[in-house]
A and B are shown apart, each in its own frame.
Chain A
């Protein structure tokens, strides 16, 4: 009578332990790679923002040349979120793609702290991928002991994008040369803004945000947030201070649409005409086309901006240590970054080439979307005068502290001096010491 009951309980005990064991092991078993048995390879690419490889048809072209290759791309629009996810994956060692994009603001951090987590591209049999690039672009991704952790894609020479229809409505000239002369300095840009605001309809601001102007202006200087020795100078560098004051003046004059960049509200404003000008690094061209769509074609134009130069953004492609197909990934990177493809990417998407060969090839490119603006010429000139920026490990965090603080100035009416202090506090909060 008792034995069956005992047996049942032992059985229950056994199965319970087994269930626990199964649950525990289920969590630790990894997933192996399935392909490459039949020579077919799937290369995964993980990017942020709009690199434009797919949009410019480069993947299609590559897979036509290499029928055994399939390319799978995932992307995150906001680089901040992308960077967070990348760091979590690097720490965990899983979930990384064969190719990971990297923004220029993060490069110093990777080179100084995480060189061991990426593959030295020289070891993958593709030669020196950066030999054709403008010098600083390749130098920034090289470690002190000469490892090449990534291949440079585009760089971000600056100009100003503007809405000709809104300019006309406010009685402003729309000719590029004339405008470039009027806003040859940031003061000139603000003055023209005041003229615009006097006649423009309510709800049509001069520019999108104080943050955009600040980032563009800071990007024109060599030393921004840290000096050549790696010492943080964000609290004292004249570049930051000047740009801050100009951005605060922009808000005081009521010229900002008070939007936060990279948010859905900002994206929507591209098509509603909420702002008339936008600080435009070359890669912004692709972004505008994406957000304003076909309806925006012909409404936008581009002119050289204040100072006629600047350096904002730009990217790299890397191969993490854990990549499943490092060799194939490296070949794809080499092809994507070759001067022909960089030139195609500029013509179709506006991402300005870091390859000198491609730069020579795109000088005469015009863009019908932007009233046939000579984008090749405008951005080439801007790139020629571009400073080789000093990059610090915390550039991303510091930049965000300033743009957030400017958001406070324009959206909550915080006094610029108070907001400046907030920015300093925020950098210290992020600081690791």
Chain B
């Protein structure tokens, strides 16, 4: 019984006993909650949405499903309002993501210095992120009010002609983007800051020894060191921008995205089809197109990142 070899490997023997089977299953047990929840709230809705998108389903008579095949999709692709929403999603995405990430990078760089009250600034950064979309949007909607908004009041006191921040296409897209930027800049700045702090100090020291200026250090040490972090934030922001919904919905409080649909995003277009016009089948088709679009964008991001890595080597 008391063989020296088994004493050295106590785990090997019990593995053959029934308890060993259980132990091999244990990791699956730990994963089960996630996969259980994912199956119930992720996979099933996804597949059921695909099924619904092939039917005519109306919210008002939701127990009835008429088979349509791919008609919802073909109608979608021939609907100018879909393309309008896609274009808006893209322009608002660029208007919000690009300045947001650039500003976040700059702020993170500043926060990385030894500052007085550093913790305060870092917490303050995160405050907008902790604010609810609804609260933030309502405040911004007031600020951007055409007749009684603070921004137009400032503009007119400077002698600039007041802007219709709702009806004007670019102005309204700018308004929506401003909310997104305000909410997410701090969050991204903190992620960048975390990335910056993992860059070894020696790199900066040797760069300084070589006579690199602060700007050169930033460009040639910080940014390359942050590359994985930047890729992460770009992917997450792109997905966020593609799904943009709450801000444009609450900006004027309707699913049309403005009187000319000038800031109607894909998310809003989906919502309008499903919950204003009550065409659930069509909304499901939009949802799937959005899903495929995001997968496509993620693949594109991955491909670009992989290529950059290869060219670096």
Contact = CB atoms under 8 A, between A and B. Distances in A.
B59 A5 contact: no
B26 A13 contact: yes
Nearest to A404: B259
B53 to A, nearest CB: 15
Q: How large is the interface on A (under 10, 10 to 19, 20 to 34, 35 or more residues)?
A: 35 or more
Given A2-B11, A114-B60, A17 B277 contact: no
B99 to A, nearest CB: 25
Contacts of B167: 407-408, 411-412
A400 to B, nearest CB: 8
Contact of A263 (B252, B255, B256): B252
Contacts of A176: none
Given A2-B19, A10-B22, A113-B61, A432 B277 contact: yes
B60 A90 contact: yes
Interface in B1-46: 10-11, 14, 19-20, 22-23, 25-26, 29-30, 32-33, 36-37, 40
B87 interface: no
A87 B254 CA distance: 16
Contacts of A17: 29, 32-33, 36
Contacts of A229: none
Contacts of A34: none
A6 B60 contact: no
A267 to B, nearest CB: 10
Interface string B163-175: 0101111000000
B146 interface: yes
Interface in A42-92: 78, 80-81, 84, 87-88, 90-91
A16 B37 CA distance: 11
Contacts of A265: 145-148
Contacts of A84: 255, 275-276
Interface string B267-278: 000000001111
A323 interface: no
A12 interface: yes
Contact of A274 (B20, B26, B147): B147
Q: How large is the interface on B (under 10, 10 to 19, 20 to 34, 35 or more residues)?
A: 35 or more
Contact of B59 (A10, A14, A88): A88
Interface in B119-156: 141-142, 145-148
B61 A268 contact: no
Contacts of B33: 16-17, 19-20, 23
B81 interface: yes
A264 B275 contact: no
Given A12-B30, A87-B59, A260-B259, A432 B279 contact: yes
Contacts of B312: none
Nearest to A110: B60
Interface in B179-221: none
A20 B79 contact: no
B269 to A, nearest CB: 10
A10 B26 CA distance: 7
Contacts of A24: 36, 40
Nearest to A393: B60
A66 B23 CA distance: 66
Contacts of B227: none
Contacts of B60: 87, 90-91, 109, 113-114
B277 A430 contact: yes
B7 to A, nearest CB: 10
B117 interface: no
A216 B289 CA distance: 41
A241 interface: no
A29 interface: no
B14 A2 contact: yes
B56 interface: yes
Given A17-B29, A91-B62, A407-B167, A6 B260 contact: no
Interface string A393-433: 00001001000110110011010000000100100011010
A268 B147 CA distance: 9
A78 B256 CA distance: 14
Nearest to A433: B56
Given A13-B32, A19-B33, A412-B169, 15 more contacts: A5-B23, A6-B20, A23-B33, A80-B254, A88-B59, A91-B59, A260-B252, A268-B148, A397-B277, A411-B259, A412-B259, A422-B260, A429-B79, A430-B277, A432-B58
18 contacts: A3-B19, A5-B23, A6-B20, A9-B26, A13-B32, A16-B33, A17-B36, A23-B33, A264-B142, A397-B276, A400-B256, A404-B256, A408-B167, A412-B164, A412-B260, A422-B260, A429-B79, A430-B277
Interface of A: 1-3, 5-6, 9-10, 12-14, 16-17, 19-20, 23-24, 78, 80-81, 84, 87-88, 90-91, 109, 113-114, 259-260, 263-265, 268-269, 272, 274, 397, 400, 404-405, 407-408, 411-412, 414, 422, 425, 429-430, 432
